[in-house]
């Protein structure tokens, strides 16, 4: 599975405007709607906030991978956002989050969902990759960087 099969350039936000956890989840959800998908952003945020109650998806090192399953969704989808300022996301290490991958899955896609989460997590463990994600300028550059890293992780 390639993350770039799930992530489109129009699902990438170069600089998030959000200041709170709920706002960033909504902004990342809106990327799907702006990209032409017929999704209910409010329902998506509700699912994501419920998941956050189980434990923060802010995994540390400035990374969060919010995820959930949404009824009516046909395919696994991924959006990406970053913020130079950082957002308090109740991360495990207590530090602000700068890099977000939001993953939404259809209700019945446990295996695929977990494989995508694991792959994103493995990719982001590399400090150089995280730094490059913050340094590149455009959504095209972000996508290209993710595509290169994605192909290196099988």
The residues annotated with a catalytic role in the active site are 67
Beta pairing class for 7-13 and 77-87: parallel
Query: Residues near 138 by Cβ (< 8 Å), separated by ≥ 6?
Result: 14
d(CA 142, CA 129): 11
Token pair recorded at residue 29: 């959800």
- Helix, strand, coil percentages (3-state) for the chain, rounded to 5, are 45, 25, 30
State the sign of the Cα–Cα–Cα–Cα dihedral 48, 36, 139, 106. positive
């Amino acid at each position: 599975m390639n993350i770039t099969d799930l992530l489109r350039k129009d699902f990438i936000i170069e600089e998030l405007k959000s200041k709170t956890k709920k706002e960033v989840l909504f902004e990342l959800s809106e990327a799907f709607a702006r990209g032409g998908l017929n999704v209910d952003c409010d329902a998506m945020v509700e699912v994501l906030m419920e998941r956050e109650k189980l434990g923060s998806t802010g995994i540390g090192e400035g990374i969060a991978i919010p995820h959930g399953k949404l009824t009516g969704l046909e395919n696994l989808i991924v959006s990406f956002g970053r913020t130079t300022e950082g957002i308090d996301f109740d991360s495990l290490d207590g530090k602000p989050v700068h890099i977000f991958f939001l993953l939404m899955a259809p209700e019945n896609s446990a295996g695929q969902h977990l494989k995508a989460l694991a792959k994103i997590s493995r990719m982001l463990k590399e400090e150089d990759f995280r730094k490059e994600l913050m340094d590149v300028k455009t959504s095209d550059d972000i996508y290209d960087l993710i595509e290169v890293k994605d192909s290196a992780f099988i």
